[in-house]
Amino acid sequence: MHTSQHTTASAKLLNTTSNVAAVALFAWKGHVWWHYGAAMALANVAGSLLGARLAIKHGAGFVRGVFLLVVTALIAKTAWDAYGAVL
């Protein structure tokens, strides 16, 4: 395995471990809203399946366009939240 692949694999393992530990701690303390988590997990799976199918069907140009659209929308929302009340 190349160095960058090994580094990426190690980062993913550490990230997953810390996430599992965090969920375990919050669940043990009773601070997890399981119904919201389940809905978010289902939406995450549905979105990733839809995104993967659209990316395969339409190619890199489509993905780039959607990415730029989403980033632009997030920048606009952040600017509106930060400066909208001032204007």
Q: Which pLDDT band holds residue 85 (cuts at 50, 70, 90)? A: low
Q: Are residues 25 and 44 in the same domain?
A: no
61-74 b/e with 16+ CB inside 10 Å = b? Answer: eeeeeeeeeeeeee
Residues 44 and 19 in one domain: no
- Do 61 and 76 reside in the same domain of the chain? yes
Q: What is the 3-state secondary structure (H, E, C) of 31-71?
A: CCCHHHHHHHHHHHHHHHHHHHHHHHHHCHHHHHHHHHHHH
27 and 6 in one domain?
Answer: yes
pTM, entire model? 0.64
pLDDT in the model for residue 52 = 95
Nearest one of 42, 46, 64, 43 to 55, comparing CA atoms: 64
- Is pLDDT of 31 > 80? yes
Q: How confident is the model at residue 20 (pLDDT cuts 50, 70, 90)?
A: very high
**Tell me: the pLDDT tens digits for 34-83?**
999 999 999 999 999 999 999 999 999 999 999 999 999 999 999 999 99
pLDDT for residue 17 is more than 90: yes
